[in-house]
Structure 1
Amino acid sequence: MTAPVPNRLDPRVPEPLTGAELAAALGRLPHWRAVDGHLVASFTVLRADVPVLYAAVAAAEDMTDHHARVTILYDTVTFALTTHDAGDRITVRDTAAAAVLGCLAAQCGAAPTP
């Protein structure tokens, strides 16, 4: 399945970040990296706190109408972000969401994984 073609006539759809913009954003987002076209970070958290972290993340995603792919494996929570409306490319929506997710993870006692 191919990614949707971005609608450049819709001002609500942000442009994909350029390489320089992505590099600058990654400089402001500790523990996040670009992997296969996604903005990705993993955190370890006490297993008992995984539901608390996920509930906080889900609430933030619903408020912004921007959702990460969330993978939970034991005590590791991994987030992957792209903007579907921009052809599954990384945009300012993703960097803003990454900043929020990183703060939520820290508030829940999660530690970034290498």
Structure 2
Amino acid sequence: MGAQDVLSRPEIDAELASLPDWRFRLGGLAAALKCPTSALALDLFAAIGALAQEANHHPDVDWRYDTLFVGLTSHDAGSKVTARDAALARAISAAAADAGATARPDLLRAVEIAMDSDDFTAVAPAWAAALGFKAGEPDELRDPAGRLPTMWFQQTRTPNANRFHFDIHVPASEAQRVLAEVEAAGATLDRSNAPAFVVATDAQGNRLCICTEEGRDA
């Protein structure tokens, strides 16, 4: 297998079996690495930068005090996971262990803005122009800088009266805990599409979806 070969979902799952720090989320690999101090987090950030330069493959890294949120995908392979991503994830985990960092998959959440539409091609260009987004998958728009939430168009012949909702992506390993907290906070849950997603409706009728990597990522 070449370094730029896109990995299938079974191949990704096989890689993740030996990458306990990492999860598959929204088409990429993700890890949250909590360090003993903010200074050590910066040292780890620098180490990740050196590994990226050596591999000529650069992850997205978000530094938040003592925690680094790291995302890996191969943009030159259509923003898919490749063997390069798995190799760099393994190297980053080794550097994280040297820094005394702890993986915190419970912190891995991502939000998509979802819109029900019976013809998303009629409305997507206006949203792309307003947000400065580019097309990702055929039914989504992405921020080229990777800072803002993805906008996803849910194709349906019967759009909901409230066309907007949030898709909140969590690792499957954390989903039951999150769902229990959402339900305890007063929302009702529709689990008919679990484990891909569970629709939660709050006390005033607003909807959101708790999604996992068993959904569209599968």
TM-score normalised by L of structure 2: 0.46
1:87 aligns with 2:82: no
1:13 Cα shift?
A: 6.4
Q: Distance in 2 between matches of 1:18 and 1:63?
A: 26
What TM-score do the two structures reach when normalised by structure 1? 0.85
Displacement, 1:79? 0.6
| Partner residue of 1:35 out of 14, 25, 32 | 25
Deviation at 1:84, TM superposition (A): 1.1
Post-superposition Cα deviations, 1:30-86, rounded to whole Å, max 9, x if no partner, equal 121101011001111111212211111111110110011001112110110001111
Evaluate the alpha carbon distance shift between residue 13 and residue 108 of structure 1 in structure 2; reply closer, same or farther with a 3 A threshold. Answer: closer
- Alpha-carbon RMSD across the aligned residues, in angstroms, is 1.2
> Could you tell me which amino acid in structure 1 is paired with residue 56 of structure 2?
D
**Distance in 1 of aligned mates of 2:3 and 2:39:** 37
What 5-or-longer segments of structure 2 have no aligned partner? 106-218
Q: Which runs of 4 or more aligned residues in structure 1 lie more than 2 Å from their structure 2 counterparts after TM superposition?
A: none
Residue 6 (structure 2) pairs with residue 16 (structure 1): yes
The answer to which structure has the higher strand fraction is 2
Query: AA paired with 1:24?
Result: A
**Separation (CA, whole Å) in 1 of partners of 2:5 and 2:46:** 29
Which among 56, 73, 81 is matched to residue 64 of structure 2? 73
Unpaired stretches in structure 1, ≥5 consecutive residues: 1-11
**Greater relative contact order (CA < 8 Å, ≥ 6 in sequence):** 1
Report what 2:89 is aligned to. Answer: 98
